Amino acid sequence: MSTFTYPEFTAKQAITANDGYRCPSCGNRLNPENAGKTYRCLNNHSFDRAKEGYLNLLLAQHKRSRNPGDSDEMIRSRQRFLNRGYYDNLALHISQQLSSMAINSRFLDIGCGEGFYLQAISAVRDDLQLVGVDISKTAVRLAAKRPFNAQLAVDSSFNLALFDNSIDMAMAIFSPFSPAEASRVIKPKGYLMLVGPGKQHLSGLTAHIYDQPVPHQGNHKFIDNSDEFRLLNEMDILQTIDVEGSAIADLLHMTPYYWHAKPAQQQYLRTLERLTTDIHFNIRLYQNCVDSLP
């Protein structure tokens, strides 16, 4: 299975005044101080930069739990699984689409997880400023350790610490998001790419867990009844893969199916040497219809 060749590591991109973060408390600009180790607004709300280079901009009131987002085990399972190349075709498709899009400044990954897809994009669009947010600190910390340049923050996709009309294009891969909030930060006529599960996604895995096939709901359900975005095009990627050895347990752990699998089913899946399954992605490209420029 093919894997990506990634560019050499260089220092994290500097956060400048025009493309920075807005304070999640009061909406004013967060300015770097102390050599970028702290970001502070004029109302003295301050946020420290982690040693890995990301900012934690998640306010206590936007956390629904002490450690919000996917569990650490889910995130680490997903990273191991993705790093073995099973979803490389999806990353390749997204990168190819990005390589031909007429965007020239900032690209946002909403729910960037541990940065797999952002890193793939960085390999083809090193001219873009990449921005990644995720509500899980573990995920953002892992993304920050990947060898690519991006502004990364622990942040809520329902209350983005980004300015209005500051993003050329955003994407959300299997991630929940707010259409109103995405529309606010994306420039007028800017783009939003959504990736969700197609009908046959992981059918070889779910066949071991459910008696009947379970229909998937993509994250476009958030947008289907909204006025903010217009669907430009849609396509599916369908492929059959053989998942081998410990990657089978990782695949189970990285999905919600883990919570639905009975202990005996989990045990059985762990004993398999190979699991053949379809992977099926639905990719939709939207355009922001809301002209929110003053």
Binding site for Zn ion (CB under 5 A): 23, 25-26, 41, 43, 45
| Residue 71, number of CB atoms within 10 A of its CB | 13
Q: What is the DSSP letter of 67?
A: S
CA-nearest of 177, 171, 92 to 130 is 171
Residues 6+ apart with CB under 8 A from 210: 260
- At 242, which amino acid appears? D
Closest-by-Cβ residue to Zn ion is 23
Residue 156 to residue 163: CA distance in whole angstroms: 14
- Cβ proximity to Zn ion: between 26 and 289 the closer is 26
Rounded to a whole number of angstroms, the minimum distance from the CB of residue 110 to Zn ion is: 22
Rounded to a whole number of angstroms, the minimum distance from the CB of residue 57 to Zn ion is: 11
- Cβ proximity to Zn ion: between 41 and 202 the closer is 41
- Cβ proximity to Zn ion: between 44 and 212 the closer is 44
- Cβ proximity to Zn ion: between 21 and 86 the closer is 21
3-state secondary structure of 185: helix
| Residue 255, number of CB atoms within 10 A of its CB | 22
Rounded to a whole number of angstroms, the minimum distance from the CB of residue 204 to Zn ion is: 49
Rounded to a whole number of angstroms, the minimum distance from the CB of residue 21 to Zn ion is: 10
φ and ψ at residue 171, rounded to 5 degrees: -140, 155
- Cβ proximity to Zn ion: between 39 and 281 the closer is 39
Residues 6+ apart with CB under 8 A from 27: none
Rounded to a whole number of angstroms, the minimum distance from the CB of residue 133 to Zn ion is: 18
- Quick one: tokens of 211? 């008696």
